[in-house]
Amino acid sequence: MKLRLIATAVSGAVVALSAGVVFAQANPANSGYVISATGAADNNIVRSGKYGATNNSDNLCWRTGFWTPAMAIPECDPDLAKKPAPAPAPAAPATPPSAPAPAAAPKAPEAPKAPPAPAVQKITLASKALFDFDKAVLKPEGKAVLDREIVGRIKEVQKLELVLVTGHTDRLGSQQYNQKLSERRAHAVASYLESHGVPKDKVETLGMGKTQPVPGVVCEQKNRKQLIACLQPNRRVEVEVKGEIVVRK
């Protein structure tokens, strides 16, 4: 172990050593070490001389009596001297501005919406309200029903496509007779509608005779009058109106 020597020499005294004296640099303003008056400016601290069989040079610097650790320099007291502040890390290269996002492609124009399919409105009218039994001549009250239920509704239809009038009868009588009766009743209703502004080329008629009775109507009466009354739902005229309905707000 190296023995550190502390000198108590007065500041500015010269300590003579052997010819092999080694010096180090010190700031005269910091006189914590013994400074050689003859040493070079960059080699002016008095150190121990060479010693030992191998003539090794010691690194022990001579200190003044008022040396404090705050006066330590790296050449003499590397473990006490203040370490130089580490060089600041190089600044990270500035991040280049991000490229602007590509402009959104213009939206393709929306395909025009298909127009709604024409609605079909089916109106069923009891033949009793239109005709006397076994007749095909419209009654006054029957015309009022057509004005209210058919003509009034057709006025709310724009782009009228079709008005289909279908006549039906009950099962009484032959098929041939009932077929003709159903057709005459359908024609009577169609003619009335045409006379009240419905385009003739939009109106079609159809007679179904007794082939399409109303489901669920079961009549087994023996009395003819009662049977006729029971079969009333089958004697009917159906009007189907196809077109776009005007929505009134």
What HEC string does the chain produce?
CCCCCECCCCCCCCCCCCCCCCEECCCCCCCCECEEEEEECCEEEEECCEECCCCEECCCECECCCCCHHHCCCCCCCCCCCCCCCCCCCCCCCCCCCCCCCCCCCCCCCCCCCCCCCEEEEEEEEHHHHCCCCCCCCCHHHHHHHHHHHHHHHCCEEEEEEEEEEECCCCCCCHHHHHHHHHHHHHHHHHHHHHCCCCHHHEEEEECCCCCCCCCCCCCCCCHHHHHHHCHHHCEEEEEEEEEECCCC
In this predicted model, which residue has the larger pLDDT, 80 or 236? 236
- Is residue 5 domain-shared with residue 123, that is, in the same domain? no
Res. 38: pLDDT tops 80 = no
Q: Which domain holds residue 70?
A: 1-81
- Domain end: 54, 81, 108, which one? 81
Average pLDDT over every residue of 164-172: 93
Whether 40 maps to a domain, the answer reads: yes
Question: What is the residue-averaged pLDDT of the chain?
Answer: 75
- Is residue 172 domain-shared with residue 234, that is, in the same domain? yes
